[in-house]
Amino acid sequence: MTVRKGVMQLYEYNIGEGIKNIRKKHNLTQEQLAKALNVSTATIANYENNKTVPSMEFILKLSTLFGVTTDTAMGKFIEQPDRQFSLMEGVDPDTTEDID
């Protein structure tokens, strides 16, 4: 087997943005979303403003209700390509070897 140079992508999460994006995509107010998920309007506002972190149960309910992945519900996005880095960065090719 040959060890190959690879690239790792960096991911960031902004849960508040994820929740807000889903709500706005479906033209809902914070009150409407709160009612659909059986939480208070203040809870939705706190989540969207990243003042509090929702439970995994909330994320699962949100993703199920709107048919999105939990990554989408948690506001996952890929960093720009210039923020990618090589897994082999800084490794001297003369010191690596093939594994058979």
Residues in the chain predicted with pLDDT less than 70, given as ranges, are: 1-11, 77-100
pLDDT given for residue 12 in this prediction: 72
CB-CB contact of 74 with 59 (8 Å): yes
pLDDT given for residue 94 in this prediction: 60
Domains and CATH numbers, the chain: 12-74 (1.10.260.40)
Q: What is the rounded distance in angstroms from the CA atom of residue 54 to the CA atom of residue 69?
A: 15
3-state secondary structure of 11: strand
Phi, psi of 7 (to 5 degrees): -125, 135
Give pTM, 2 decimals.
Answer: 0.66
Q: Which DSSP state fits 44?
A: H
pLDDT given for residue 89 in this prediction: 52
pLDDT given for residue 14 in this prediction: 86
Rama region for 26: left / alpha / beta (φ>0; ψ in -120 to 50; rest)? alpha
pLDDT given for residue 30 in this prediction: 98
pLDDT given for residue 37 in this prediction: 96
pLDDT given for residue 74 in this prediction: 87
